Amino acid sequence: MSAGGVAVPGGAAARPSGRTLDQRVFATYRTELLKLSSQLAVRLLVLVCAVGPFAFTALLRVQSGTPADALFGAYVHSSGFAVCLVVMGFAGAWGFPLIAGLMAGDQFAAEDRHNTWKTILTRSCSLGEVFTGKLLAAATFAMGMLLVAMLSSLLAGLILVGGHGLVDLSGNLQSAGRSLLFTLVSWALCVLPLLAYVSLAALFSVASRNGIVGVVGPIVIALATTLIDLIGKGVWVHVLLIGSAFGGMYGLFTASPFLGPLLVTSLVSLAWIAVCIGAAWLILRRRDFLAGSSVRAPTWHAPLRVVALTTAVVAVLAVASNLGPVGITPQRLDAAIGATFNDASLLQQRLIGRIAPAGAKLDVQPFCNRRGAKSQGPGDWLCNVYVYLPQLKSVPFQRTNVEYDVSVRYDGCYKAQSPPTFIGGPTMPDDRGRSVVNPLFVVYGCFNVL
Amino acid sequence: MEAVTATGLVKRFESTTAVDGLDLTVQVGQVHGLLGANGAGKTTLLRLLFGLIAPNAGSITLLGRALGGPGSAALDHVAGFVEEPSFYPYLSGRTNLALLAKLDGDVPAGLIGEALERVGLTDRAGSRVGGYSTGMRQRLGIAAALLRTPRLLLLDEPTSGLDPTGARAVAALVRELSAQGVAVLLSSHQIGELEKVCDAYTVIREGRVVWDGTAAQLVAQAPASAYALHTSDDDRALQIAAGIRGVRAGRSPRGQLAVAVQPDGLDALVLALGDARVAVRRLELLVTPLESMFFALSGDENVDELAPYDLAERVFAGAGADS
């Protein structure tokens, strides 16, 4: 060991000082990118995002069933865009919280676990710059994962299923171009709620100094959100939940697009991002960076405390979930399902070769009632759609009843399925004898709950 | 010019005051030893100097710049480590250094390789740090410090985990850097290593400075040093030593002769033994002035009242437990 060649003060090899703030932040950002890209879990997740959609699509191809409970799920055998949107739906519920947890949940806690806060904070970067660099790196990786998952699922769908147009949430067949646009826009709109989960994971990581809490925390919150979404008829709590924005984009898929939920849930995501990052920074800047006794080895005590706390919060939110105006009412569901049934019926007629002019109106009267004790709110509904068919003889019309079991989500999106007595089975022959999805067997739709 | 000026530093942890009104000055180009028993506050002081913890009171200036919080700009050209150096175990030694270099704004090409070579880690630079021994991590910590072209080095137990050759190399490196004008604040429990390199010392106890001065002042003010003495006539030597002021002599449990002498007492003893035709066959330093000073300042016992071998044993016991 020798000092030969070590730069002396003011020597020629002395490091240039006086870097600008953005240069220093960029330096911490690059180091965090390097650290994340070196981790096995991150590499595996990239692999899952890249290969998973292909595996999922291939699995769908070899079986006749469809994930019909998911929006567009009935069309996974007929449109590659449906595959991409079904993957997005699953990712919104579980995949994105997992990505956020793995990208940001261990970033801060790992410095405590490896006792490396002192290593990086004794270099030429401030705590604020490290904080910013970490968040930016986590956000970059999370968005990168989203991009990989989107491209992979889109390619898997187009290659393995095909680029046929998608039936939208009003029962209308869209062109391949519009379907692609809708699909890309939908994935892009997932960025904000994904970043909200990243911020939440970072907050868990900073506050708990425990990587398990940071990684698992967002998934637990996603689970809690899913549970709360099943109950309560009020709008406020549902709209304010961190994952609410994953459903905001579906208003774009209807014949009369509505932007209210999208705007509100996007603002909610921004608020979550601001609150989580602000809280994380306040906690981080107030702490001392001690070693030894202050290093908290990852244990399950903290996660269990988080689960207990989350359970308590879920209980409170469950009670509060009835607050605010009611988003899902029989009147709104009647109007939505009537219009969608109308358009889906016209599509069915066109598929079998009959002429059905655009904008034609059937005489349809839906009557929806919620199953169970409540008369409003998300859950299972029974809708009787009365169709009045004109007759040639003395009877002015014939009334036919189509009974739909409707599952309505908190965000106003629903899946309606009927026994094949009136509307036929899940598939039907089209005018050229090919088997196509019967648009009336499973009907998807969305209406504005705000 | 002062490289470090700490004034009135106070740091409390709940009910414990780890640093209590501490003042410290380290001059540019000086190698300054920081001594203290376990829990004396050395590590807390180094953490304060690195800005990793905030003082409850007092101020710190490094290289003329006031220290802010963690990652303060005042840390530019300040390098080193506190407690054992820590790195990312899943990355290689070279990648760890590259990562730290990025945080510093990159370093001249080749400097990482030079730093690794300088600490003898070139062969293992591609291995994950998780597989490094304590000594290898220590050497990597020194390499990481060198990347910053430091003007002030703060080193906490830099020879911990190193073999004697490695420890000597660190001492040589510190002297070399000091010769280039780098100020070094060195905390070590290996007092012998400190004595070889330090120009000045600060001894702290219970968070307070109990002695501060140059190496020359320390030698002048130190209580008795202890020597093992082998003569042609130990009984006669004992009698002679008993008559010399500032010299205490005794036998170890195994019958070996030892003397504890004040700084100017050794010459008088050797001359008196010569006058009495008692040959001095070997004179072996058991307790250095720094060790006896450290023991005197950090313990509760009166060094001047201890028998020489007791003094040596106590010093060694204390030094061994110190960190």
Higher pLDDT among residues B20 and A420, named by residue? B20
Question: CA–CA separation, A71 vs B279, rounded Å?
Answer: 102
Higher pLDDT among residues A419 and A161, named by residue? A161
Q: Are B223 and B293 in contact (CB under 8 A)?
A: yes
User: What was the pLDDT predicted at A237?
Assistant: 82
CB < 8 Å to A2, chain B: 118, 169, 172-173, 176
Q: Please, what are the averages of pLDDT over each run of 10 residues along chain B (323 residues)?
A: 90 88 92 86 91 90 82 78 90 93 80 89 91 90 90 89 82 88 86 81 88 83 80 90 83 79 82 92 82 72 60 50 34
Q: Are A216 and A303 in contact (CB under 8 A)?
A: yes
User: What was the pLDDT predicted at A189?
Assistant: 92
H-helix segments, A39-175: 40-61, 80-90, 96-104, 107-113, 117-121, 127-160
Question: CA–CA separation, A185 vs B223, rounded Å?
Answer: 81
Question: CA–CA separation, A290 vs A117, rounded Å?
Answer: 9
pLDDT band at A4 (very low <50, low <70, confident <90, very high): very low
Cβ–Cβ gap A15/B176 under 8 Å: no
- SS3 at position A376: coil
Higher pLDDT among residues B319 and A346, named by residue? A346
Cβ neighbours of residue B122 closer than 8 Å, sequence gap 6 or more: B113, B116
Q: What is the end-to-end Cα distance of chain A in Å, rounded? A: 71
The strand pairing partners of B152, in sequence order, are B78, B183
Site of tokens 């709209």 = A239
**Percent above pLDDT 70 for chain A:** 91
Lowest mean pLDDT among A139-148, A310-319, B134-143: A310-319
CATH architecture of B222-321: 2-Layer Sandwich (3.30)
Nearest chain B residue (CA) to A116: B86
CB < 8 Å to B11, chain A: none
CB < 8 Å to B47, chain A: 118, 289-290
Question: CA–CA separation, A290 vs A413, rounded Å?
Answer: 51
Q: What is the mean pLDDT of residues A185-199?
A: 94
Q: What is the mean pLDDT of residues A147-156?
A: 95
Residue ranges of domains in chain A: 21-320, 330-446
Q: Are A443 and A415 in contact (CB under 8 A)?
A: yes
Q: How far is the alpha carbon of B284 from chain A, nearest alpha carbon, in Å?
A: 30
Q: Are A95 and A253 in contact (CB under 8 A)?
A: no
Q: Are B156 and B43 in contact (CB under 8 A)?
A: yes
pTM for the predicted model, two decimal places: 0.82
Q: Is residue A87 pLDDT above 90, yes or no?
A: yes
pLDDT one-digit tens code per residue, A32-67: 999 999 999 999 999 999 999 999 999 988 888 888
For the domain covering B2-219, report its CATH number. 3.40.50.300
Angstrom distances, CA of residue A357 to CA of A346, A347, A354, A365, A391: 8, 10, 10, 20, 20
Q: Is residue A105 pLDDT above 90, yes or no?
A: yes
Half-sphere exposure in the Cβ direction for A371 (13 Å, CA): 11
Nearest chain A residue (CA) to B145: A123
Q: Are B206 and B38 in contact (CB under 8 A)?
A: no
Q: Phi first, then psi: what are they for B20, rounded to 5°?
A: -130, 90
Cβ neighbours of residue A254 closer than 8 Å, sequence gap 6 or more: A168, A169, A170, A445, A446, A447
User: What was the pLDDT predicted at A293?
Assistant: 43
Tokens of B21: 């009104």
Q: Which residues of A109-137 are buried (b: 16+ CB within 10 A; e: fewer)?
A: bbbbbbbbbbbbbbbbbbbbbbbbbbbbb
Which of A381, A385, A420 is closest to A401 using CA atoms?
A385
Q: How far is the alpha carbon of B94 from chain A, nearest alpha carbon, in Å?
A: 13
Cβ–Cβ gap B103/A27 under 8 Å: yes
Q: Are B52 and A121 in contact (CB under 8 A)?
A: yes
Tokens of A135: 């968040």
Cβ–Cβ gap B120/A1 under 8 Å: yes
CB < 8 Å to A117, chain B: 52, 70
Q: How far is the alpha carbon of B5 from chain A, nearest alpha carbon, in Å?
A: 18
DSSP state of A293: G
Which of B272, B269, B274 is closest to B258 using CA atoms?
B269
Q: What is the mean pLDDT of residues A354-367?
A: 82
Question: CA–CA separation, B133 vs B215, rounded Å?
Answer: 34
Question: CA–CA separation, A113 vs A129, rounded Å?
Answer: 20
Q: Is residue A388 pLDDT above 60, yes or no?
A: yes
What dihedral angle (degrees, nearest 10) is formed by the CA atoms of B299, B303, B308, B314?
0
3-state DSSP of B6-26: EEEEEEEECCEEEEEEEEEEE
User: What was the pLDDT predicted at A223?
Assistant: 87
Q: What is the end-to-end Cα distance of chain B in Å, rounded? A: 30
Cβ–Cβ gap A121/B52 under 8 Å: yes
Tokens of B222: 């130190």
Half-sphere exposure in the Cβ direction for A334 (13 Å, CA): 12
Question: CA–CA separation, B195 vs B33, rounded Å?
Answer: 8
Give me the DSSP letters along B52-119: SS--SEEEEEETTEE--STT-GGGTTEEEESSS----TTSBHHHHHHHHHHHTT---TTHHHHHHHHT
CB < 8 Å to B104, chain A: 15, 27, 123-124
Q: How far is the alpha carbon of B142 from chain A, nearest alpha carbon, in Å?
A: 10
Residue of B51, B83, B169 lying closest to A291 (CB–CB): B83
CB < 8 Å to B146, chain A: 3, 6
Report the relative pairing of strands A427-429 and B2-13 from DSSP bridges. Answer: unpaired
User: What was the pLDDT predicted at A13?
Assistant: 33
Cβ–Cβ gap A292/B83 under 8 Å: yes
pLDDT band at A393 (very low <50, low <70, confident <90, very high): low
Give me the DSSP letters along B278-290: --EEEEEEEE-HH
Cβ neighbours of residue A84 closer than 8 Å, sequence gap 6 or more: A53, A150, A153, A154, A156, A157, A183, A187
pLDDT one-digit tens code per residue, A118-141: 898 888 788 899 999 999 999 999
Cβ–Cβ gap B87/A127 under 8 Å: no
The DSSP H or E segment spanning A163 is: none
User: What was the pLDDT predicted at B320?
Assistant: 36
Lowest mean pLDDT among A187-196, A353-362, A433-442: A353-362
Q: How far is the alpha carbon of B69 from chain A, nearest alpha carbon, in Å?
A: 8
Q: How far is CA A155 from the centre of its chain?
A: 19
Cβ–Cβ gap A124/B72 under 8 Å: no
Q: How far is the alpha carbon of A313 from chain B, nearest alpha carbon, in Å?
A: 32
Site of tokens 């906490």 = B156
Top mean pLDDT of A145-154, A203-212, B33-42 is at A145-154
- SS3 at position A199: helix
Residue ranges of domains in chain B: 2-219, 222-321
Can you state the angle between helices A96-104 and A211-229, rounded to 10 degrees?
A: 160
Where in A313-422 does DSSP place strands (E)?
A: 363-370, 379-390, 397-408, 413-417
The DSSP H or E segment spanning B156 is: strand B152-156
CB < 8 Å to A16, chain B: 105
DSSP state of A326: B
User: What was the pLDDT predicted at A132?
Assistant: 94
**Percent above pLDDT 90 for chain A:** 32
Q: Is residue A16 pLDDT above 80, yes or no?
A: no
User: What was the pLDDT predicted at B33?
Assistant: 92
User: What was the pLDDT predicted at B263?
Assistant: 67
pLDDT band at A179 (very low <50, low <70, confident <90, very high): very high
Tell me how crowded residue B232 is: count the other CB atoms within 10 A of its CB: 12
Q: Is residue A227 pLDDT above 90, yes or no?
A: no
DSSP state of A175: P
